[in-house]
Amino acid sequence: LKLSNYPVFHHLRGISVIHGDLNVLTEKVRAYVEDKIDLCQPDTIHICDGTDRENSNLLNLLQKQGTIVPLPKYQNCWLARTNPADTARVESKTFICTEKKSDTIPTPEEGVKGSLGNWMSPEHMDKEVIARFTGCMKKRTMYVIPFSMGPVGSPLSKIGIQLTDSAYVVASMRIMTRIGQAVTNIMDDTTEFVKCLHSVGTPLNGVVENPSWPCDPERTLILHKPQTNEIVSYGSGYGGNSLLGKKCFALRIGSTIAKREGWLAEHMLILGITKNGKKRYIAAAFPSACGKTNLAMMTPTLPGYKVECVGDDIAWMRFDENGQLRAINPENGFFGVAPGTSNASNPIAMKTIFKNTIFTNVAQTSDGGVYWEGMENEINDNVEITDWLGKPWNKNSKTPAAHPNSRFCTPAKQCPIIDPLWESPEGVPISAILFGGRRPVGVPLIHEAKNWRHAVFMGASLRSEATAAAEHKGKIIMHDPFAMRPFFGYNFGHYLQHWLNMEKRTTNLPKVFLVNWFRKGSDGKFLWPGFGENCRVLDWILKRLDNEDCADNTPIGLIPKKDSLNLEGLNGIDMSELFKLDAEFWEQEINAIQKYFEEQVGKDLPPAIREECDKLKNEIKNM
């Protein structure tokens, strides 16, 4: 027997497998991997098993490459610094590829630039992929990551195979999803999977400026092909661009699968709240910078309440055979924004993140720890700080120590208030859905939708304050329907119709509310303390779920009856300002929403939503 006859089990398309067992891959997975080997031409193949040993080998490798440094102040924590050109998702380079453009995005009005996603034709996609991926993994290892979104084996879960040339991505995917043997063990030749191809890329001229963080920002492209459940991402190593299970799979591809199969893939946290021994689950959608992770891990100030966390970012929800809406968190970790996280704002997060965590683009302290804006009171006075770019930093520096989009990537199971049912295969029963935004004026602390159509209208109308691009000064109120604007996998008009159709699936629809923790008084100060005090708002929601008669009808929805919001022990709350409904504000608001719908969604807007718009307009006239 010649040695060269052997390697059948150790080579794939002539490339050696340096880790893992080829036999765990199904025929279909193997065919996919072979196809992409031919395209990307890696030097070696590594099939991820998800073991601790594999993980520590990868972390060692990353340390040698200079991608991460250990943080000796904590247990198994690491700091990565990216190329400064690769620090966030890039919406303008993110596309959905379908034959028909109108399957992906609504047709905006003549002369209006669409803001509800980007479309590319499949032919164009193929061309762009060939141009970038041909030979892109030369001299690199291709990692094969089998992963499950959702608890392994749950009927609500879905499997993906991610191919990547980044060990940082493998280590992060191991935290954010369930990877390796546990997943391949349950796969057979009939198992469907989402195909996820990722490369950090090499610039065309071959010059890698920052070898510890290779990337190709100029040519970055993130593509999704819903028809074949395929994701292709090139040029970025960071966050939602490279951890493909998250926004690409769980939301963009996920929402298209959900549409076909009759369920919902949403940008929502899931929390459990117990009051006097009775527990309910709530899902909530907020645009970024509205404190989603804080709410998901809230410490209630009212006695007798307990909040537990199921997830902080994504919910997959469907009605079960009894018409009960059930949700799973498809993720396995938290990829949270670090700045602003502190013992004051989110003590539970602070108890979660200082072991087994990969931090990215935060600042470093001379005692081997991390630092970011908001941690002023949590570090020793005598430590020296190195900013996210690796430069010395002090409190007088003009630039932030941590990048504003710096993150912790941490296992969910470490959260001290992780819900006992967070991995339950059937999901948790959802009683209420919250929408929210950052609205300094006009929008009350809470109002309840009058019915399902009104609820869908509410989600569609969601707006939130965002920091405007540098050239505008100040803040602007951005439309962010369902907090999903960057994440729709298909035409937003069709998405609205899909939500409307849920009415036919059950007689037990969840109640829907819109909350705003961020209203300000004429003095510019917040009218509501927020954080743990938000449990008072959740308490009112629980009363409504118990059908308590504690709500007054108003033109915009139901608001708390006088004294029905528990303010015990809280002083100085100006309830009349918090709940004031100003006719002029609401007229402008509904006009802005209507204009947005007509300009952006046009003929794809479901008639029911147009009717809701007109109804509200009329009601506001009588305000």
The set of catalytic residues is 290
> For the CA atoms of the chain, what is the radius of gyration?
25
> Is the Cβ of residue 319 or residue 334 nearer to Mn ion in the bound state?
334
Q: Rounded to an integer, what distance in angstroms lies between the CA atom of residue 185 and that of residue 36?
A: 23
* Least Cβ distance, residue 522 to ligand SAT (angstroms): 33
- Please state, in angstroms and as integers, the Cα–Cα distance from residue 528 to each residue in 279, 286, 515, 574, following that order: 25, 17, 11, 8
Judged by CB under 6 A, the residue of 288, 343, 424, 594 near ligand SAT is 288
* Least Cβ distance, residue 83 to Mn ion (angstroms): 22
- Interface positions, 82-121, toward ligand SAT (CB under 6 A): 89
> Is the Cβ of residue 409 or residue 605 nearer to ligand SAT in the bound state?
409
* Least Cβ distance, residue 483 to ligand SAT (angstroms): 10
* Least Cβ distance, residue 459 to Mn ion (angstroms): 16
358-360 sheet: strands from edge to edge: 68-70, 78-80, 358-360, 407-411, 333-337
> Which of ligand SAT, Mn ion, none is residue 447 near (CB under 5 to 8 Å by kind)?
none
Using CB atoms, what's the residue nearest to Mn ion? 313
* Least Cβ distance, residue 247 to ligand SAT (angstroms): 4
> Is the Cβ of residue 480 or residue 604 nearer to ligand SAT in the bound state?
480
- DSSP bridge partners of 446: 515
> Is the Cβ of residue 195 or residue 246 nearer to ligand SAT in the bound state?
246
> Which of Mn ion, ligand SAT, none is residue 259 near (CB under 5 to 8 Å by kind)?
none
Q: Rounded to an integer, what distance in angstroms lies between the CA atom of residue 209 and that of residue 219?
A: 15
Structure token pair of residue 201 = 């890329």
Q: State the Cα torsion 514-516-521-525 to the nearest 10°.
A: 180
- DSSP bridge partners of 513: 434, 448
Using CB atoms, what's the residue nearest to ligand SAT? 240
> Which of ligand SAT, Mn ion, none is residue 89 near (CB under 5 to 8 Å by kind)?
ligand SAT
> Which of Mn ion, ligand SAT, none is residue 489 near (CB under 5 to 8 Å by kind)?
none
The SS3 of residue 3 is helix
Per CB under 6 A, 335 contacts ligand SAT: yes
Q: Rounded to an integer, what distance in angstroms lies between the CA atom of residue 335 and that of residue 169?
A: 13
Candidates 17-25, 307-315, 392-400, 555-563; binding stretch for Mn ion (CB under 5 A): 307-315
> Is the Cβ of residue 217 or residue 555 nearer to ligand SAT in the bound state?
217
Contacts of 466 (CB under 8 A, 6+ apart): 287, 289, 438, 475, 476, 477, 478
What does the DSSP 8-state code read for residue 152? T
* Least Cβ distance, residue 405 to ligand SAT (angstroms): 7
Per CB under 6 A, 532 contacts ligand SAT: no
* Least Cβ distance, residue 433 to Mn ion (angstroms): 16
- Please state, in angstroms and as integers, the Cα–Cα distance from residue 91 to each residue in 117, 118, 213, 315, 565, following that order: 8, 8, 21, 21, 40
> Which of Mn ion, ligand SAT, none is residue 246 near (CB under 5 to 8 Å by kind)?
ligand SAT
> Which of ligand SAT, Mn ion, none is residue 597 near (CB under 5 to 8 Å by kind)?
none
Under rule CB under 6 A, how many of the chain's residues touch ligand SAT?
7
- Interface positions, 197-216, toward ligand SAT (CB under 6 A): none
The SS3 of residue 321 is coil
- Please state, in angstroms and as integers, the Cα–Cα distance from residue 69 to each residue in 91, 171, 471, following that order: 30, 14, 36
> Is the Cβ of residue 89 or residue 280 nearer to ligand SAT in the bound state?
89
- Interface positions, 245-284, toward ligand SAT (CB under 6 A): 246-247
* Least Cβ distance, residue 507 to Mn ion (angstroms): 32
Q: Rounded to an integer, what distance in angstroms lies between the CA atom of residue 409 and that of residue 407?
A: 6
Contact status, residue 591 vs residue 618, Cβ threshold 8 Å: no
> Is the Cβ of residue 438 or residue 453 nearer to ligand SAT in the bound state?
438
Torsion sign across C-alpha atoms 259, 261, 265, 269: positive
> Is the Cβ of residue 313 or residue 448 nearer to Mn ion in the bound state?
313
Contact status, residue 118 vs residue 105, Cβ threshold 8 Å: yes
> Is the Cβ of residue 40 or residue 248 nearer to ligand SAT in the bound state?
248
Residue 597, phi then psi, degrees to nearest 5: -60, -45
- Interface positions, 220-249, toward ligand SAT (CB under 6 A): 239-240, 246-247
Q: Cα–Cα–Cα angle for 275, 280, 284, nearest 5°? A: 115
Candidates 159-167, 174-182, 305-313, 473-481; binding stretch for Mn ion (CB under 5 A): 305-313
> Is the Cβ of residue 20 or residue 240 nearer to ligand SAT in the bound state?
240
> Which of ligand SAT, Mn ion, none is residue 606 near (CB under 5 to 8 Å by kind)?
none
- Interface positions, 310-369, toward Mn ion (CB under 5 A): 313
- Interface positions, 47-106, toward Mn ion (CB under 5 A): none
DSSP per-residue letters across 265-309: EES-EEEEEEETTEEEEEEEE--TTS-HHHHHT---SSTTEEEEE
* Least Cβ distance, residue 487 to ligand SAT (angstroms): 8
Note the Cα 469 to chain centre separation in Å. Answer: 22
> Which of Mn ion, ligand SAT, none is residue 335 near (CB under 5 to 8 Å by kind)?
ligand SAT
Q: Which of 453, 445, 451, 541 is nearest to 496 (CA)?
A: 453
Per CB under 6 A, 181 contacts ligand SAT: no
- Amino acid residing at 401: A
> Which of ligand SAT, Mn ion, none is residue 247 near (CB under 5 to 8 Å by kind)?
ligand SAT
* Least Cβ distance, residue 359 to Mn ion (angstroms): 18
> Is the Cβ of residue 250 or residue 317 nearer to ligand SAT in the bound state?
250
* Least Cβ distance, residue 296 to Mn ion (angstroms): 11
What does the DSSP 8-state code read for residue 193? -
Q: Rounded to an integer, what distance in angstroms lies between the CA atom of residue 378 and that of residue 75?
A: 18
Q: Rounded to an integer, what distance in angstroms lies between the CA atom of residue 334 and that of residue 169?
A: 15
> Which of Mn ion, ligand SAT, none is residue 403 near (CB under 5 to 8 Å by kind)?
none
Q: Which of 165, 211, 172 is nearest to 358 (CA)?
A: 172
Q: Rounded to an integer, what distance in angstroms lies between the CA atom of residue 288 and that of residue 284?
A: 12
Structure token pair of residue 56 = 């520590």
Binding site for Mn ion (CB under 5 A): 313
Binding site for ligand SAT (CB under 6 A): 89, 239-240, 246-247, 288, 335
